[in-house]
Structure 1
Amino acid sequence: MDSIAAGPVAPITLSDDGVYVAQVNNKDLIVHLNPTSSEFRDVHVVKVKENAPKFLKFSRALHLSPGEIQNEQVSVPRRLLYASDTRIQVWQLNPLQSLAEIEGIEPGALNIDFGGDENEIIVFHAWNTKITIYGLDTGRSQVIKAPKFAHGNGFGYRPKTREFAVLLKPDANDLLTLHNFRTYELINRAVLPTVDAQGLKWSPDGRWIVIWDAASAGTKVLIFTADGQLFRTYTGIPGTDASLDLGVRGLEWSPPSPANGASEFLAIGKVDGSVEILTCKTNSPRIWRERLVAADGNLEYADSSSSSAFNTIPEPSNPPRGVSTIAFSADAQLIATIDQTRPNIVWIWELEPVAVLMSALVHEHAVRQALWHPSKIQLVVTTVNNTGAAVRSWSPYTQPSITRVPVPRNETGRYDLRWISLDRDDKQRFWLGSHDDYILGFLDQEDGGLQFQSLHHINNKVPAGSYGANTSR
């Protein structure tokens, strides 16, 4: 674990994109705002309160796609941080002007840098007792205790959406925690099956977090989904002699592919000098989160693959463990699973040519059923909620949808669905209801979305002789 305070910074510091240069000369801070110009003519000099700073950092450049750069859709101010052992000063660039000052910093900080954006300052305190994140625009500060490392391999911000992942060492076990951007509320925590975790790295596409164990543990690489769920453990090439495995020295993700925006390869550098490359081309599932449409009160699925981490519902005090649902599609090429530690998420896997995660459906309530159509490649999902009946439909060919079904509200929130397995057309009929009320119908494309078309309604409280003919809407 880090325990030695940083020394004075180098006399010259460059920004990560090479656009800015800063120099320190006694109490003069010299900033070149346009070093690409001839003779560095755009130079500003400001006086600082202390010489020999411990940290001098530029805020990180915003990496944009060629289209965003061309259209100038995003403009982010760049800033410069100057930190001594007790004080932090921040300047705005272009033009250079003082922006903020934080005094009373505890001596011995191991690292001070910008946080998730240019409005955050993150401080790793001496002996890794805690992390303090200061909001320059809010004036508030937040604390995370017991970081394992202060260097860049111990923490990271998710690309674009900037959720914060950090390795902690509160006791004998390594711990991974994920926090929301700006609020730093806890999203998830995972106790790691590691001997001595050495670092973590987000994939550049923001879909994966990789953690590697100490070399003494042999090859052990853990790949987590963006919400902190363990997806895969890699322990080396199958069939190799584990006694000769000298372990992992470091690793690196490939940049996002221009074709699909995914980081397709993970290169693992071994202590023995070899490099093993994992392909991640199939590790790019579509993540869909259930959300309420404010305009009409209906529900819909929103694509969350590259925007935000998963929501998981609170666990009961003694949750059942393990996989509670395993359902194969009609052609046996897809499988849907539900893990009771995260009962609101349906995981959809493709089995050929190798088993890979294809998609995930994240809901506000626990899933009650996940049922494949008997002959078509279509999955329907019901959840336990007493706000009203709805059918959630997924197929690999279209965007998933959530459709309200007009059956009476059930206080228990438990609605059962059953497919009609002997359909002679493509209407894919099903029953949905609970206790005293069931309705038969199908989902039909109408007005740009799926609508439920009712065929029959059965109410157990109505005498059998009272039923008349029901027609579809």
Structure 2
Amino acid sequence: MLSSAALDCMPSPDGRFVATLRHSELVVRSTETLEVTNAVRLPSGSGSGSPPASSAASSSTSLSPLLWAPSSSKVLICSADQLDVFGATHHPEFHATVRNYTSLTGGKPSLIQFGARDTELLIWSASGLKLVVVDVCGPGVVEIASPKFHQATSAARGLAVRPETGHLALLSRSGGRDILSLHNPVDRQVLRSWYPDTLDAQGISWTPDGKWLLLWESAVQGHRLLIHTPDGQHFRTITASNLLKGPDAELELGIRICQLSPNAEMCAIGDHSRDVCILQTHSWRARMRLSHPATIVPKDTLQVWQEKIEMESLQARASHTFLKASQILSPPGSATDVQSAAETKAGCSMAAFDASSTLLATRLDDSPCTLWIWDIVAAELRAVLIFHSTVSFQWHASSRELLLITSQDPAQHGVSFIWDPLSDGPTPLVPEDHLPTGRAVGKAQVAWINRETESPVLFVSDAEHYLLLSPSNNAGRGANPWQAAVDSSGSEMALDSPTSARFALDEGDGASVVDDTFSFRNA
């Protein structure tokens, strides 16, 4: 287990590191060896020592003070007046700075993220006038006018980077028309742009193998999914007649979500109905249609688990257990009051394939407390997980059939659950049971560490601490992933031990001690 007093911390995309931003220091630690790989005193005005850009911007701006590059080799620190990029390790040492970046967008940007390369930054103007591409190791910047989506919550839908090659596809809008453009992976100059056959496109995405570029139309315009080749040539348009059955198919509301499988062989299409259509990407023909039943009938091949919450006393925390249903039941709705229920959209807005591309998890907006697990090979519903609050979910990136479910109710303080097909229902994980203070300070966060290990690893954090937990130890499914690190230290390290994690940052005029303690425990 790792622990650190921190204002902001985040695991790297590949799960090899955790970066911590605290006061005016950036600390990067290995999740495998538990060693500090880089420790940097931030330049004056950078990091959490000054207000992050998000605090000075409008409510439409949401900038994270710390971001990882896709390759996990660089870390971006965003402050009110400059951007600093550091290496995840101090060998070799790397530092690049973009000063007065707000002048590039004419004010506080709405979103900043890495591009295809570790040195490429994408900066969206809060007004939506332009997208600025900056190479921190190269001269000049590239400005792309009128990106269609520029808010933090929607910008990802209008931009896609092609795997392997790094070609950028961007959806923009000018003169009341959608424009789709392809940009060079190095200098980001336009290779090709065209007006797609859409009235109000809502998203673009490359398939994981980079063979196809997808563009889908607004739901109010019906079912329309446009398929393009990597050079931008239109290949086929999937319409309601390809996705739905019945004479009134063209009158139904269209696509809400378009989710591709990790093996790039399938595409799940969710709309405003209770059905999800699975397309085969080699032919772009419908393979199956999964229909969420209004009533669930438990059977040998379908497990139904219902959450049960009990309070032993007023002071004690609630205990979460799961009962296996044996009778017919219906999933709970989304709201108890009529007004909220009337505002709820119908249909599927969350869907994701597991690492093996054999299971699909879905959630309907009119029953957001229920998760549906589908066996894609057998085209059958395999499990239904029913909770007391709205939940989100995340499959492990490399371990097949391993699901993390997190409650979205603030009163639950980040309570999460781990599920796999062989378990006796979801296993609760309460962050407060593992945090050193025994309670969560601020909002608790639980996520997978995506490093490929024999035992899965979880990242748990609040406003003051972060921890790495291996949930497999209790089940005896594998060795503790930090056993080698503890063995090499010669002894088990205690939380807040002064010898376990004190290291100095020397600026030439003395040492500044940074406390980044860690300990080893069976979680």
TM-score under structure 1 length normalisation? 0.50
Q: Which has the higher helix share?
A: 2
Q: Taking CA–CA contacts closer than 8 Å with sequence separation of 6 or more, which of the two structures ends up with the larger relative contact order?
A: 2
Larger Rg: 1
